[in-house]
Amino acid sequence: MAKGAEDGRLIAARNKKAFRDFFILDRYEAGICLMGSEVKSIREHKVNLKDSYARIREGQLYLYNMHVSPYRKARVQDLEPKRTRKLLMHRREIDRLAGKMTDKSLTLVPLEVYFRNNKVKVELALAKGKLKRDKRRQIKEKEMQREMKRALKYR
């Protein structure tokens, strides 16, 4: 396996900000429709998930604001880096997600873009936004854990 591969996955990009800003409730895997030069660019890790999100529109799942830099060696350079991309999931899964999202104030956030069997996949999370006090509490807990480790280390 290649460097950075976990359980047959070669990770191209991670959305670290999603773990800070959201409570992750459930995870899903989806395929993604890309142009050939975009796949080559993702292989070079030229993808950014920072402010991206997914929505269900007319029974289809779409990914917004995922930035894929243009591939330098491509002949066609007219692909928009932040264009809307269609995600591929089974109809039942999309319907189940739509039902969960209407009940509560939940959103779909991409966590990772990775390769599995030479196909680009996106890991989506059903997530609920954190409040400022939740973020502060999480930071406080991390600091306490660090201090405990330091205290045990120097004993």
Distance between the two ends of the chain, CA-based, in angstroms?
Answer: 40
Residue 26, strand partner residues: 126
Q: Name the band, by pLDDT with cuts 50, 70 and 90, for residue 1.
A: very low
Distance, in Å, from the CA atom of 107 to the CA atom of 97, rounded to the nearest integer, reads 10
Distance, in Å, from the CA atom of 152 to the CA atom of 18, rounded to the nearest integer, reads 31
Local structure of residue 139 (DSSP, 8 states): H
Q: Each residue of 10-38: pLDDT tens digit?
A: 899 999 988 888 989 999 999 999 988 88
CATH superfamily of 5-130: Small protein B (2.40.280.10)
Burial class (CB in 10 A: 0-12, 13-18, 19+), 101: middle
Q: Each residue of 111-139: pLDDT tens digit?
A: 999 999 989 999 999 999 888 888 898 88
Burial class (CB in 10 A: 0-12, 13-18, 19+), 53: middle
Distance, in Å, from the CA atom of 108 to the CA atom of 97, rounded to the nearest integer, reads 9
Residue 123, strand partner residues: 29, 112
